[in-house]
């Protein structure tokens, strides 16, 4: 053994290392023992030995590609620019943008808890995603630092962040669309302990928040995610939200046509009157009442007779002008009456769109069901219901972080070819195939080398995704 070689001791083995090579964050020392996995069964008569000395590696190599999306969209700046910076500049180690970037990357990779960053502080892929050298750079921030970040925003700051996300939605289009379809809905978000805005919801059966989500239906892009008390929103509250959203979009796109879709509890007079005043189209569910039930009785009887003589299922549509007591004028209402072996059902919608009732109900209104999948993507796969802070402002800030993670995964999915299977994949599939990828990281003097497994099955697709994302990047 030459004099310039250092001996590293393992369990039952000796390792020779070159002292001139870059060292890892926790390099083995002369007396450090490299651990191994004990008790592995032999294969084809050969013993298995497994040690933890493979070098600087990460199981989330795909976030290197997500970093390009975040830089292109400016997600970290959108979330952190409105935050007040009162820290001493000479003592700042982690910028707000780095903190937000780390949290969004962790959420997109499946680490939705703030505590997870304690274990990811030295992960080389996450350090690269935050613009830090994987070996010589500083470790990422800890959970207490991130918790302080989440509690910085007040009501005004949160409003500015929400408006900035609407601007991001507008900026994400290559050209101004002729028409957009905004789907609005709410979902339950179970609370944990004594939290501001948490209420007992008898319909859900638990104490919860009931945040409102707005997505653009044709693209699946998020527009707004707003935390609110765990109760049904009033017409006045919904109108207040839509006025800000539509007003912000119209500032950027004055001539765009906007269609609003929602279920029956978004059908209050303040909402419909607002949409008429703003020149928006709408198609909304209408809750049944005694008067509507009496009007539908003859139609239900007719469908029952037709079903008994013709076929097992009969569906008919009826259009008429109707005005509820709280409405200021009559409006177009469409009734869908359906008779099957299980009984007869009637549903109502109200709209200002022209066309046949069958087309408006089946092709336009029922298409809003796709929003359930968009809510599922955000709620299930980015875990946007991890709103466990006591202050509602901190929980709203967390919703924005999860909204940023949604943008990352959604943009990665949209970068796939239009006719590929990946366009319809869930976020979990996208994460498992393109984010959860092993990578070995080596920091050299002139570059940082990333080595992905040669056996990685989606190599060609990942190359195509990276090329599509970086082609128009900054």
* Least confident among 166-175, 310-319, 340-349, 418-427: 310-319
HSE, side-chain direction, 13 A CA sphere, residue 229: 10
- Classified as helix, coil or strand, 202 is coil
Backbone angles phi, psi at 200, to 5 degrees: -75, 120
Length of the chain: 474
As a whole number, mean pLDDT of residues 199-223 equals: 94
Q: Are 36 and 10 in contact (CB under 8 A)?
A: yes
d(CA 59, CA 79): 27
- To the nearest whole number, what is the mean pLDDT of the chain? 90
- Classified as helix, coil or strand, 115 is coil
pLDDT tens-digit series, residues 25-59: 555 554 566 788 888 899 999 998 888 888 899 99
pLDDT number for residue 253: 96
pLDDT tens-digit series, residues 110-126: 999 999 999 999 999 99
Domains of the chain as residue ranges with CATH: 1-53 (no CATH), 58-151+403-471 (no CATH), 290-368 (3.30.1300)
Higher pLDDT, 24 or 470: 470
* Least confident among 9-23, 93-107, 386-400, 457-471: 9-23
Percent of the chain past pLDDT 70, that is, above it, reads 92
pLDDT number for residue 187: 94
DSSP H or E segment with residue 125: helix 124-129
Q: Are 223 and 245 in contact (CB under 8 A)?
A: yes
d(CA 385, CA 356): 40
d(CA 196, CA 173): 36
- Classified as helix, coil or strand, 117 is helix
Residue 420 pLDDT > 80, yes or no? yes
Residue 284 pLDDT > 70, yes or no? yes
Burial class (CB in 10 A: 0-12, 13-18, 19+), 210: buried
pLDDT number for residue 416: 94
Backbone angles phi, psi at 226, to 5 degrees: -125, 120
Pairing relation of β-strands 439-443 and 221-226? unpaired
Percent of the chain past pLDDT 90, that is, above it, reads 79
As a whole number, mean pLDDT of residues 152-160 equals: 96
Tokens standing for residue 415: 């970068």
Residue 369 neighbours by CB distance under 10 Å: 9
pLDDT number for residue 32: 60
pLDDT number for residue 38: 87
Confidence of residue 310 (pLDDT cuts 50, 70, 90): low
Tokens standing for residue 1: 């053994």
pLDDT number for residue 443: 93
Pairing relation of β-strands 314-322 and 331-340? antiparallel
DSSP H or E segment with residue 275: helix 269-277
pLDDT number for residue 22: 42
pLDDT number for residue 204: 86
Residue 148 neighbours by CB distance under 10 Å: 12
As a whole number, mean pLDDT of residues 448-456 equals: 95
Residue 430 pLDDT > 70, yes or no? yes
pLDDT tens-digit series, residues 241-258: 999 999 999 999 999 999
pLDDT number for residue 39: 85
pLDDT number for residue 25: 58
pLDDT number for residue 16: 42
Residue bearing tokens 């017409």: 235
Residue 19 pLDDT > 60, yes or no? no
Confidence of residue 3 (pLDDT cuts 50, 70, 90): very low
pLDDT number for residue 473: 46
Confidence of residue 447 (pLDDT cuts 50, 70, 90): very high
């Amino acid at each position: 053994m030459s004099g310039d070689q250092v001996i590293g001791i393992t369990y039952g083995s000796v390792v020779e290392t070159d002292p001139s090579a870059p060292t890892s964050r926790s390099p083995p020392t002369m007396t450090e023992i490299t651990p191994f996995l004990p008790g592995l069964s032999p294969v084809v008569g050969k013993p298995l030995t497994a040690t933890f000395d493979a070098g600087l590696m990460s199981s989330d190599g795909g976030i290197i590609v997500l970093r390009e999306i975040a830089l292109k969209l400016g997600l970290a700046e959108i979330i952190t620019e409105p935050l007040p910076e009162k820290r001493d500049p000479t003592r700042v180690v982690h910028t707000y943008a780095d903190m937000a970037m780390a949290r969004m990357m962790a959420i997109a990779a499946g680490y939705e808890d703030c505590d997870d960053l304690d274990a990811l502080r030295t992960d080389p892929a996450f350090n690269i995603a935050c613009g830090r050298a994987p070996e010589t750079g500083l470790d990422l921030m800890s959970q207490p630092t991130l918790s302080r970040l989440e509690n910085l925003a007040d009501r005004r700051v949160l409003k500015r962040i929400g408006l900035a996300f609407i601007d991001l939605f507008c900026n994400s289009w290559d050209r101004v669309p002729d028409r957009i379809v905004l789907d609005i809905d709410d979902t339950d978000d179970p609370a944990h302990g004594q939290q501001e805005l948490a209420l007992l919801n008898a319909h859900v059966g638990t104490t919860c928040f009931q945040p409102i989500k707005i997505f653009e239906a044709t693209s699946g892009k998020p527009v707004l995610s707003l935390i609110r008390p765990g109760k049904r929103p009033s017409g006045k509250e919904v109108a207040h939200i839509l006025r800000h959203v539509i007003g912000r979009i119209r500032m950027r796109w004055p001539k765009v046509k906007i269609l609003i879709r929602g279920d029956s509890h978004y059908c209050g007079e303040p909402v419909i009157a607002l949409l008429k005043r703003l020149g928006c189209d709408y198609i909304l569910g209408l809750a049944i009442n005694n008067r509507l039930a009496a009007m539908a009785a003859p139609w239900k009887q007719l469908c029952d007779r037709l079903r008994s003589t013709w076929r097992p299922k009969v569906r008919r549509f009826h259009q008429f002008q109707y005005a509820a007591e709280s409405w200021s004028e009559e409006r177009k209402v469409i009734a869908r009456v359906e008779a099957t072996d299980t009984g007869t059902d009637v549903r109502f919608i109200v709209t200002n769109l022209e066309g046949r009732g069958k087309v408006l109900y089946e092709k336009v209104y029922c298409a809003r069901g796709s929003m359930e999948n968009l809510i599922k993507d955000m709620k299930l796969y980015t875990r946007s219901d991890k709103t466990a802070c006591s202050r509602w402002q901190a929980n709203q800030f967390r919703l924005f972080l999860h909204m940023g993670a949604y943008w990352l995964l959604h943009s990665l999915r949209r970068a796939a070819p239009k006719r590929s299977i990946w366009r319809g994949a869930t976020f979990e599939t996208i994460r498992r195939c393109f984010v959860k990828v092993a990578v070995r990281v080596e920091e050299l003097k002139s570059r940082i080398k990333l080595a992905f497994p040669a056996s990685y099955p989606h190599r060609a697709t990942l190359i195509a995704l990276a090329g599509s994302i970086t082609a128009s990047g900054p």
